[in-house]
A and B are shown apart, each in its own frame.
Chain A
Amino acid sequence: MSDDILISADNVVKHFPVQSGSLLHRSKEVVHAVDGVSLEVRRGETLGLVGETGCGKSTLARCLARLFDITSGKIVFDGRDISRLNPRQMRPLRREMQMVFQDPYGSLNPRRRVGSIIGDPLAIHNIADGQERKRQVQELMELVGLHPEHYNRFPAEFSGGQRQRIGVARALALRPKLIICDEPVSALDVSVQAQIINLLSDLQDFLKLTYIFIAHDLSVVRHVSDRVGVMYLGQIVELAPVSDLYGKARHPYTTALLSGVPVPDPDEAATRHRIVLVGDVPSPIDPPSGCRFHPRCPKAQQRCVDTEPALVPRSGDSELHPTACHFPVAEGEDLTEAVPQISVADRVVEPTSSGGERP
């Protein structure tokens, strides 16, 4: 493995057991949250992960950070296999990978002062205490655009955008190499969202950070990412440099996702061909056979029901742009009129489980 890879995943699987049925007739089922994901993140780049609710993007991120034990597969961070490390062994590595979460209201303890929240990592890892800790915290606050004199305030005294800055400062305290941002701007208003995106990109340049950036907002992901992975039901269905993904998407799911984004431009909105997918994402407890997208796919054929497509470059794409689809979308192909060539029984039936809305 080459040196410029910071973290890599090889066939990572994460299943969650669930119990269902009555007390006497218990059946053990598993949620296939992440099902065989392989990817590499290079130093200094931003890898975006997109997909709908329940596609496993957040679970994957937590697996990579080893906040979850993984069911199988291998994760290598900075040249070291971390797939089976226990929490104590992971602890020194926590300094190198940090997370920023979606909800700036829920992720900060309301009873603690901002200075001590940001200083926590420094205390836990015995890096600095007393005046030195305060100095470092105030430096961090300044770095993320907060007033250092607000050191003693409580989170409630800050707005949503400022709280997200606090979350970023806390993540930066240990000078990590990797920051996993899980929907860092989705809870923020547009004008403030842009401030945080700019902050993250400045920090990346300044501190040479590597980001894994998870979001459902495709325009935000496009803006921040170098490469983007599209997830569907626990798997990566397409992975590509950002210009390729947004310019010549191969997977019908990617195409549908991109066509569904409401664009803030009336003339463009009027001329766009929107692919409206039928139904919702099926249950990850019992994912469909073959290609998991086949029940909703406008291009589905019998082969998609029978055989699972591999994630490999298609239609002469480069090694950097693999797609898991038997019948990739050609450039300029219009899917709005496509009709699936599979039996009605194999097509989507609306699910009886819940899903489809964002948390």
Chain B
Amino acid sequence: MTLLEISDLHVSFRTADGIVQAVRGLSFSVDVGQTLGIVGESGSGKSVSTQTVVGLTRGAQVSGKALFEGHDLLTMSQRELQQVRGSKIGMIFQDPLSSLHPYYRVGWQIAEMIRAHEKHTSKAAARARAIDLLGLVGISQPARRVDDFPHQFSGGMRQRAMIAMAMSLQPKLLIADEPTTALDVTVQAQVLKVMQRLQAEFGTAIVLITHDLGVIAEAADDVVVMYAGAAMEKAPRRQLFYDNHHPYTEGLLQSLPSYGEDRARLRPIPGQPPSLIDLPGGCPFHPRCPYVMDRCRTEEPPLMVVGRRTRHSSACWLPRDPAKRAEVRLQITGVGR
């Protein structure tokens, strides 16, 4: 069942240098209880798109649709959106220090969140729930730590407190924007585990935004790969890693230092991502693509279904059929794969 369906989302910002086209025609949907991973590099539009959906991008020009349980979030008033944010859509951001208020006790902040949405809940009851939630995300001695200030928590604990807050009203959807990026490896593991446990318990759908393909491999059911404000490829996790179609996806995976093999030379994607003010014509990836064809320079490919799998689509002019694709690639690069 679809919980959130975004279609043809465009977001742009007017700046002194020109119009920044941050998101260009993005569509995706999230099913109940599933994790959708959105992966991309800086400036690919992965954060802007979800922030726009929940009404957090002021001054942006937005078009498209974002249906959440059948209601369009993009046409809601700020008041209606405030009702949805927190109670139905929880959010966690990258930096757990700046997302908690430094002057208020952690438990108070969680209780306040609960009381903002549930007027009938007493202070004592909200506090008791805050303690339960802190325990749930694995903070030891929650009854004591509930009165700590954010600076008394470590980075990992703050991020877990943010998860506790985001989950306090058992939202249907959790938007996690780079939730583990600022954390150390051992703490990252704790946070991912907490998120997965809560998802299993409450059936929450998660939109997981990250640049880390390792996190995607571990936690996402379906994946959207973004580049220059648009989706390049959408696929179930295993297809994305083992049977991808788009050269950008392939390039991303190849540029990682592989964990398995020894010091083979890395294969980076040449060049830099394009400026969102002055995008190249045709496919936005064509200046960096090893398989660029004439058509790519003039015509931007739409997302097209790959093979018979309807959940796998790619915005690339290369043939759908693997054998034909290999043939075309060979003609272009002279290298067989």
Contacts and interface: CB of A to CB of B under 8 A. Distances in A.
Interface in A183-223: 189-195, 197-198, 201, 216, 218-220, 222-223
B252 A350 contact: no
> Which has the most chain A C-beta neighbours within 10 Å: B189, B252, B263, B269?
B189
B186 interface: yes
A79 interface: no
Interface string A232-271: 0000000000010000000000001101111111111100
Interface string A333-359: 000000000000000011111111110
Contacts of A277: 186, 189-190
A260 B189 contact: yes
Interface in B253-312: 253, 255-260, 262-263, 265-270, 272-273
B185 A261 contact: yes
B97 interface: yes
Given A198-B266, A262-B218, A265-B217, A193 B255 contact: yes
A197 B158 CA distance: 33
A349 B140 contact: yes
A5 B176 CA distance: 48
A191 B268 contact: yes
Contacts of A280: 154-157, 187
Interface stretch (B60-68, B163-171, B208-216): B208-216
Contact of A191 (B182, B190, B215, B251): B251
Contacts of B217: 262-266, 268-269
Given A189-B42, A357-B96, A358-B182, A350 B139 contact: yes
A167 interface: no
B97 to A, nearest CB: 7
A197 B253 contact: no
A330 interface: no
A190 B252 contact: yes
Interface string A262-291: 111111110000101101110000000000
B123 interface: no
A194 B267 CA distance: 7
A220 B184 CA distance: 15
A35 interface: no
Contact of A220 (B182, B241, B257, B269): B257
> Could you say which interface size class chain B belongs to?
35 or more
B48 interface: no
Contact of B189 (A274, A351, A355, A356): A274
Given A243-B262, A355-B155, A216 B185 contact: yes
A219 to B, nearest CB: 5
A52 B151 contact: no
A71 interface: no
A354 B153 contact: yes
A307 interface: no
Contact of B259 (A216, A219, A260): A219
B183 interface: yes
Interface string B6-46: 00000000000000000000000000000000000110000
A159 interface: yes
Contacts of B259: 219, 222, 261, 263-265, 268
A254 to B, nearest CB: 11
A53 interface: yes
Contacts of A192: 41, 268, 272
Interface residues of A, number: 53
Contacts of B265: 198, 201
Given A191-B255, A197-B257, A260 B185 contact: yes
B327 interface: no
Contacts of A159: 272
Contact of B213 (A218, A264, A357): A264
A144 B91 CA distance: 41
Interface string B229-249: 000000001100110000000
B241 A354 contact: no
Interface in A136-194: 159-162, 189-194
B156 to A, nearest CB: 5
Given A194-B266, A356-B154, A356-B157, A266 B188 contact: no
B145 interface: yes
Contacts of A160: 42
A194 B268 contact: yes
Contact of A190 (B151, B155, B255, B272): B255
Contacts of A352: 148, 152
A155 to B, nearest CB: 15
Nearest to A195: B268
Contact of B97 (A191, A195, A357): A357
Contacts of B213: 190, 264
A192 B255 CA distance: 8
Contacts of B269: 191, 194
B324 interface: no
A266 B237 contact: yes
Nearest to A185: B257
Contacts of B267: 194
Contacts of A52: 184-187
Contact of A266 (B42, B183, B189, B241): B241
A260 B190 CA distance: 9
7 contacts: A190-B255, A193-B255, A218-B185, A219-B259, A268-B259, A354-B151, A358-B182
**8 residue pairs, one from A and one from B, having the closest CB atoms:** A357-B155, A262-B214, A194-B268, A356-B155, A223-B257, A356-B154, A194-B255, A189-B41
Given A191-B255, A268-B260, A350-B141, 19 more contacts: A161-B272, A189-B211, A190-B211, A190-B213, A191-B269, A192-B268, A197-B257, A201-B265, A218-B185, A223-B257, A260-B186, A261-B259, A266-B217, A266-B241, A268-B259, A269-B217, A281-B184, A353-B154, A357-B184
